[in-house]
Amino acid sequence: MKSRELFERAKLVSPGGVHSPVRSFNSVGGTPIFFETAQGAMMTDVDGNQYIDYCQSFGPLLFGHRDETISKTVRETVDMAWSFGACEPYSLELAEFLVSRIPFIDKIRFVNSGTESVMSALRVARAATKRHKILKFDGCYHGHLDALLVKAGSGLAGESSSDSAGIGSEIIANTLVLPLDDEEALEKLFEREGDQIAAVAIEPLPANYGLLIQRKEFIEKVAKLSRKYGALLLFDEVISGFRVSPLGMAGDLGIEPDLVCYGKIIGGGFPVGAYAGKSQYMDLVAPQGPVYQAGTLSANPFGMRAGLAMMQKIWQEQPYDLLSKSCKELMNGLVRILNLYARIDEKTNTIFSQNKNYISEIEWESVTYGSLFWLKQKTEQPVRSIDAIPIGHKQRFARIFHALLNQGIYLAPSGYEVGFLSTAHTKSIIDDTLDKAENAIKKEFGK
Ligand SMILES: *Cc1c(COP(=O)(O)O)cnc(C)c1O
């Protein structure tokens, strides 16, 4: 297997052999596949094996790999310019397109990743409020900036410890962390420290620790308390933006954030992030205001033109009903198969036999929102916070993941990542997926 050889070589020259941790397969075990080409819903690995791809680069590819419209734009761009480090019309077109359509943004600044967009938006929030503290929620991911690589500690609600080495204690001290789905904790924290909070950062559709769909009332409470105490409400829509609807979760919930962060889809598959909001905040950004933020390759023509092609196609085609329908069809089929063949799960049982919460028979279900999906063990209550995720989830997912992978179905390699559909996942591809999945699961569970 060529992938295995390449991974051995990669480990010698890059940490863990990868350039982003989840790619390593650490969460599911085994050796990562090295992919060479992709088209539509399909990816081909270095050995020539084909896979139906439900990761889609973790979300950017709403129309699938190398969508023809975007591809054409990118090929044209090669012959026009690669980067100027100077003013150009392409970012202006994308900015005008978005500002004229998204009612809660007056101005937008393009950067190169989701991480950069959140980092910059928080700087704006601190400058606007002259406060230092940031509130985030356990289970929400906002990129790898220091201030937000912090999760809840086991002590008092709101006290924090870091998820990564190398983060200064003063940064940790300024990041407050609360569980999702808990209005009472929210109120208490705001009473205690609300007047010191610069920004409340939240994924309005948390999709980086499973798919933790929040009650609308909870997000409303977050918004209301932020307003009341003068903290800026920052919606991190890096995943949900343009994926759930053209206006993202802000549109779906009817809640307007003060600042919003985009990434993933906004660049049409190229490295683009953006932060945006009302003029009163965005005008604080240099050179208009005192908040410094810059980028050598920011707003580069590939990302801007691919992004515009993506946005035009989104507003024209409004693919969301179609995507939801395909996603439901896929999940209904997969859950049916899992519940037919993968309920009594002996191998997992052996792993968990010392566990107090050990369950001998499980039922599967899916959580979906539009084209996002998450497979999990059935629970009595909807899972809305990370501590409600059933014990053993990671191992159960790993087993399903490998069974499907062997039959040419690629899911994101972690039980805590969500799955993504694109418009390239046609009815026939979904039917094909379900046929392959049935074989895979039957074989894995010895039926
Ligand atoms: C992916 C993601 C980020 C980070 O974006 P990068 O482009 O990987 O830096 C931030 N926030 C959310 C919600 C994300 O899903």
What residue ranges define each of the domains in the chain, with the CATH number in brackets? 2-62+319-445 (3.90.1150.10), 68-317 (3.40.640.10)
Residue 442, classified by CB atoms within 10 Å of its CB into exposed (0-12), middle (13-18) or buried (19+), is: middle
Give pLDDT tens digits along the chain (447 positions): 899 999 999 999 999 999 999 999 999 999 999 999 999 999 999 999 999 999 999 999 999 999 999 999 999 999 999 999 999 999 999 999 999 999 999 999 999 999 999 999 999 999 999 999 999 999 999 999 999 988 755 555 555 677 888 988 888 899 999 999 999 999 999 999 999 999 999 999 999 999 999 999 999 999 999 999 999 999 999 999 999 999 999 999 999 999 999 999 999 999 999 999 999 999 999 999 999 999 999 999 999 999 999 999 999 999 999 999 999 999 999 999 999 999 875 555 555 555 545 556 889 999 999 999 999 999 999 999 999 999 889 999 999 999 999 999 999 999 999 999 999 999 999 999 999 999 999 999 987
Given 54, 90, 141, 262, which residue is catalytic? 141
pLDDT at 321: 98
Ligand 1 pocket mutation pick from 112, 202, 239 by most atoms within 8 angstroms of CB: 239
- Asked if residue 226 has its Cβ within 6 Å of ligand 1, the reply is no
pLDDT at 348: 54
Secondary structure of 87-101 as H, E, C letters: CCHHHHHHHHHHHCC
Distance of alpha carbon 298 from alpha carbon 113, whole angstroms = 10
Please name the amino acid found at residue 194: G
To the query of whether residue 107 is one of the catalytic residues in this protein, the response is: no
pLDDT at 163: 80
To the query of whether residue 432 is one of the catalytic residues in this protein, the response is: no
pLDDT at 170: 87
- Asked if residue 143 has its Cβ within 6 Å of ligand 1, the reply is yes
* Residue 387 backbone dihedrals phi, psi, to 5 degrees: -75, -5
Given 138, 236, 258, 345, which residue is catalytic? 236
CA of 157 to the centre of ligand 1 (A): 25
- Beta strands 107-111; 273-277: pairing state: antiparallel
Distance of alpha carbon 209 from alpha carbon 211, whole angstroms = 6
Which atom of ligand 1 lies nearest, measured to the CA of 115? 9
311 by DSSP, 3-state: which?
helix
Residues 336, 340, 346: CA angle, nearest 5 degrees: 125
pLDDT at 138: 95
Residues 122, 275, 243: CA angle, nearest 5 degrees: 120
Which atom of ligand 1 lies nearest, measured to the CA of 116? 9
HSE, CB side, 13 Å, CA atoms: give it for residue 141: 20
Distance of alpha carbon 268 from alpha carbon 286, whole angstroms = 26
CA of 50 to the centre of ligand 1 (A): 27
Nearest protein Cα to ligand 1, atom 14: 238
- Asked if residue 142 has its Cβ within 6 Å of ligand 1, the reply is yes
DSSP character at residue 148: G
Q: Using a cut of 0.85, tell me whether the model's pTM lies above it.
A: yes
DSSP character at residue 40: B
- Asked if residue 208 has its Cβ within 6 Å of ligand 1, the reply is yes
- Asked if residue 235 has its Cβ within 6 Å of ligand 1, the reply is no
Q: DSSP alpha helices (H): ranges in 271-370? A: 279-282, 301-317, 320-341, 346-352
> What counts of helices (H) and strands (E) characterise the chain?
14, 16
DSSP character at residue 243: T
* Residue 388 backbone dihedrals phi, psi, to 5 degrees: -90, -5
Q: Which residues contact 73 (CB under 8 A, 6 or more apart)?
A: 268, 305, 306, 308, 309
pLDDT at 446: 86
Please name the amino acid found at residue 151: K
Q: Which residues contact 271 (CB under 8 A, 6 or more apart)?
A: 112, 113, 303
- Beta strands 160-162; 150-152: pairing state: antiparallel
Establish whether the linkage from the previous residue to 287 is cis, with ω within 30° of 0.
yes
Contact (CB, 8 A) for 251 and 245: yes
> What letters, b where the CB count within 10 A reaches 16 and e where it falls short, cover 392-414?
bbebbbbbbbbbbbebbbbbbbb
